[in-house]
Structure 1
Amino acid sequence: MPQPSPYIAKASSTRLSFRVLICCKRVLANHKKLLAMQPAISVSNLSKTYASGFTALKSIDLEIKHGEIFALLGPNGAGKTTLISIICGIVNPSSGTVLAEGHDIVKDYRAARSRIGLVPQELTTDAFETVWATVSFSRGLFGKPANPAHVEKVLKDLSLWDKKDNKIITLSGGMKRRVMIAKALSHEPQILFLDEPTAGVDVELRRDMWEVVRRLRETGVTIILTTHYIEEAEQMADRVGVISHGEIILVEEKAELMRKLGRKQLTLQLQNPLETLPPELASQGLELAEGGHELVYTYDTQGERTGITGLLKDLNDAGIRFRDLQTKQSSLEEIFVNLVRKQR
């Protein structure tokens, strides 16, 4: 019986290997799509009651999307740090489940924690270690092999490369805060928690760190931010969650939140002061200010009572002339304060 040509056999083997490779790539692509569809963090019915009887969290349900910057806002004692500590495996929950990239933080804690980086509020570093040694050691704590190239990249991204041989004790407060971020990124996490990352940092350095966080998001890292600087959340966040008394009271896209709950104010500086409003304008919600030299009109951002155009026409018909106008919109801080105040 004639034997097949070795060239034919080799060609068949090559075609088979090519088909296997294509199949593997398709499986990998589908797997990545499935991962992208599931949330980066999924919290279900999570509660925490301490031995003292204090209930810090009450039936929290929360999903955080892949690759977003999520701002978790709340007053002191609201439960922010407890929630973060549970997700990061520092505090045990009383009930409920938390999944990090699909891994249960209790049942599959090694896989879950390897995907999470945490920058805590406190500066917890060995003051007499160098920056390089500190960041490299943090990588080893997660069982990752040494990777000088990755550590170098992290330090350069955070503008710490020229400080790599400096001892931590010699650094400024802002630089120490950057070292904390470098430590959290040393093991290449896909989820990064920033708990008050710019506390005690000056305004210029705070804005520099905002840019660092945005660049991290561009690489696909999911970022959860807690902050008392509401401007920080307004500048950076894609979505906002508000927690109060251990309960999530709101989760919303930042732009949509400001559209729904924000208010606008139109201030008209009058050519001639008014002592009182004409009766035909009394129902339009106008207020006299600055001794009658200004008219103030406040309205929500979803719709106006009569519309700005209609208001200006009514003012003109009433013989009221103005020489200048200004508009102002609610900030995220004002919305946050109003939300929390309603919960008291």
Structure 2
Amino acid sequence: CPDGTAGAMICVRAFAVVGMDVELEPIQYDEPAHNELEPAPGQLFVDITPPVHRWREWEEFDPIVLDHHSTARKAVEGLGGVYGDSNQSGASLAYEHVMLPLIMSLPKSSLAAGDWSPYTTWWKEFARMAMLRDTWKEDHEEFEKAQGMMRCLGFHGSKNLIRDCRNGLIDIEGMFGLGKKLHDNAVRKAELLARGAHFETVELGTRTFKFGILNCTDNVVSEACHSLLNDHGCDLAASFFYKEDDGDGRLHVSLRSQQHEKGEGGEVDVSKVAEILEGGGRQSTAGFRLCEARNKSMQDLADMISDAFRSVMRK
């Protein structure tokens, strides 16, 4: 995700400045590479943790763990890591707990006076933009700027950006113009997709909730979900797409709720919905994957999510 890419860029640049050569291994939650990860000395986890069901295997190795996903909180705190609140993301944690301490540990003579500024201004701003987008602070005056910046990361490709970060600063400021165009296009696509969504009413006693779900054929899953929330009045939104992962056809599902508008601790905790379906995330943004899901219809998927939602709301 963009926040994970931004966190990796921050870490790679910080270690390069202090002369440390580190091996970077991009991993996503619950993929085979993550589930099969083995504990070892000298590991740093950013925007992810060791497999949650196996975190105790890492205790003797004392890894550094920085994450903000509520479904991974037990692993973060169990390993003495830093668990981010609703105003933090993987990138902001990487800046605060990796880049800033490393840069500040250098002798003042090791960097020219003009070289200090980017690490206390530019990279800090970069991390803040990643946080605004990842935590979806859509009421913030700079939210669209953050959206554009993070969409640029996908446009340029994480591997290229991380490689360039080893060698020097990247002109993210120069990406803002392009980022706005990319973001505007994404919003238009998402709004169009949302108009063709399937809507259901989920009844729980005397309460009713509007649920919208769509097949997202483009890389606009977050924007599409939030169009369902903001433009169509949904309490719960889901978007999905198919992707080949390690030779298996998987269904990737994103879940969003109205909590961005209602504040932390609002009505629908989608991380708990995702957890029932063997996924995870945060209160207002979460997701899960289904293997061998090519025979799943949209109605099958809607029923799975609705059943999990009912289970969460009845507790």
TM over 0.5: no
Tell me which protein shows more helix as a share of its residues: 2
Q: TM-score if structure 2 supplies the norm length?
A: 0.28
Tell me which protein shows more strand as a share of its residues: 1
Tell which structure's C-alpha radius of gyration is larger.
Answer: 1
Q: TM-score if structure 1 supplies the norm length?
A: 0.27
